[in-house]
Amino acid sequence: NAGVTQTPKFQVLKTGQSMTLQCAQDMNHEYMSWYRQDPGMGLRLIHYSVGAGITDQGEVPNGYNVSRSTTEDFPLRLLSAAPSQTSVYFCASWEQETQYFGPGTRLLVL
Amino acid sequence: GQQVMQIPQYQHVQEGEDFTTYCNSSTTLSNIQWYKQRPGGHPVFLIQLVKSGEVKKQKRLTFQFGEAKKNSSLHITATQTTDVGTYFCAVSGGYQKVTFGIGTKLQVIP
């Protein structure tokens, strides 16, 4: 099992550009989540999904969209990047009480 | 959602000394989770506590959940350089919506 994978590892965007952060898991987990991590603020939940076709907003959803067409994939879309979205993004999936994180994507918005 | 305050934010210890981080809430928590994040890495799930007064051990790590389920602690006995990282507490709500504390960054001086 590869676990939770994320691409790209690093990305630089200009303000106003759009992009999709990819997340995939091969553990057949129903629950998946996206977080952003900023210095001094811990991790904050952006969006989550409880299964294919079902998504919902977390604590900081503005500026981000998600979809869940398959159990394996949970992409995060930035429609119009802003400097405030400079952060490290983590995707995670759940098995019972254990949450497994991907390696993260470092995003810089200029 | 349920909020948690974590202290201290930073801690430097000599190798071999003990270390404790605390997580507090003004409301009763349904559960508490603990994660470790190495520098440059991703969060790794350590444990979940759900019962009032629960104590669990993992080698040199001791996790406690308060009797009133409003606080929790993580204690590391005889720290080693491999313990370096940031330790987060978190609360998992319905549908695995997780709220993280800001973390305690531990530095171990050899």
- Compare all CA atoms of chain B with the CA of A96 and give the residue at the minimum distance: B96
B10 exposure class (CB count in 10 Å sphere: 0-12, 13-18, 19+): exposed
Nearest to B42 among A44, A94, A101 (CB): A101
Query: For position B1, what pLDDT does the model report?
Result: 60
Residue A1, pLDDT > 80, answer: no
For residue B1, which residues of chain A lie inside 8 Å, CB to CB? 59
Query: For position A8, what pLDDT does the model report?
Result: 97
B35–chain A nearest CA distance, Å: 10
For residue A41, which residues of chain B lie inside 8 Å, CB to CB? 102
Query: For position A40, what pLDDT does the model report?
Result: 77
Residue B24, pLDDT > 80, answer: yes
Whether the Cβ atoms of residue B92 and residue B48 lie closer than 8 Å to each other: yes
Query: For position B92, what pLDDT does the model report?
Result: 83
Question: B55-58 and A105-109 as β-strands: parallel, antiparallel, unpaired?
Answer: unpaired
Query: For position B65, what pLDDT does the model report?
Result: 97
Task: Give the mean pLDDT of A26-30.
Answer: 94
User: Given 3.10.129.10, 3.30.590.10, 3.90.78.10, 2.60.40.10, which CATH number is that of B5-109?
Assistant: 2.60.40.10
Query: For position B97, what pLDDT does the model report?
Result: 81
Whether the Cβ atoms of residue B76 and residue B16 lie closer than 8 Å to each other: no
For residue B10, which residues of chain A lie inside 8 Å, CB to CB? none
Interface contact flag, A45 B99, Cβ < 8 Å: yes
- Compare all CA atoms of chain B with the CA of A102 and give the residue at the minimum distance: B42
Residue B95, pLDDT > 90, answer: no
Query: For position A43, what pLDDT does the model report?
Result: 94
B65–chain A nearest CA distance, Å: 16
The sign one gets for the Cα dihedral B5, A98, A108, A23 is negative
Query: For position A97, what pLDDT does the model report?
Result: 81
Query: For position A2, what pLDDT does the model report?
Result: 77
Task: Give the mean pLDDT of B76-101.
Answer: 91
Query: For position B10, what pLDDT does the model report?
Result: 96
Whether the Cβ atoms of residue A2 and residue A10 lie closer than 8 Å to each other: no
Query: For position B103, what pLDDT does the model report?
Result: 95
Domain chopping of chain B, boundaries: 5-109
Task: Give the mean pLDDT of A19-46.
Answer: 94
* B31-51 b/e (C-beta count within 10 Å ≥ 16 → b): bbbbbbbeeeebbebbbbbee
